[in-house]
Amino acid sequence: MDIIHGKVWKFGDNVDTDLIIPARYLNMTDPEELAAHLFEPIKGENFNEIVGESDIVIGGDNFGCGSSREHAPIALKASGVACVVAKTFARIFYRNSFNIGLPLIIQPEAAEDIQDGEILNINLGEGKIKNQTTSKEYSFPALEGMMIKLLENKGLISYILNEGYDSSEKRESSG
């Protein structure tokens, strides 16, 4: 899995899906169009234009709570966000992100410490976050089986088409 290297955009607790992408834009499905409204209630319009390719979002507790709209992780990914680190994630948002190949990391200490604008190096395979600005390091538990499969296949659909649930069932029962 790739190394993620980018700048931090920090947010607080309970960033809900209405803040990530307001409901009135849900009649769109095009990732680029959605990205133009990313975090609009907090950051204003066209925030995506200042997000760099491979930047990192930091959230507090319950990041992504609220509706099941996949538009939220889609808008994040299309804006260039490569990963979200938070204290806790809402579960549907968690599934949705991995299902489209956007990795999430649960690391409460890092989510607390790391500040807006700092530069991070994240190694997903090794479970390491390095804050280049402060030189502080954090580790997080390696991702579990299904999560790795989803990231390796760049999402659920290619996983199903490439490998299929049946093979995973066989693997699990034989292991």
3-state SS class at 45? coil
Stretch of 2-10, 69-77, 108-116, 132-140 lying at the interface with other proteins (CB under 8 A): 69-77
User: Which residues, other chains included, contact 109 with Cβ-Cβ below 8 Å and sequence gap of 6+?
Assistant: 138
Cβ of 46: how many Cβ atoms within 10 Å?
12
Minimum Å distance from CB 133 to other proteins? 28
The interface mask with other proteins, positions 110-139, x = CB under 8 A, is ------------------------------
Return the ∠ at Cα 85 (arms to 150 and 67), rounded to 5°. Answer: 70
Span 15-44, contacts to other proteins by CB under 8 A: 16, 18-19, 22-24, 26-29, 41
Tokens of 19: 């803040």
What distance in Å separates the CA atoms of residue 30 and residue 106, rounded to the nearest whole number?
28
Question: Which residues in this chain contact other proteins in the complex, by CB under 8 A?
Answer: 14, 16, 18-19, 22-24, 26-29, 41, 61-62, 65-71, 73-74, 88-92, 95-96, 99-100, 144-146, 155-157, 160-161, 164-165, 168-169, 172
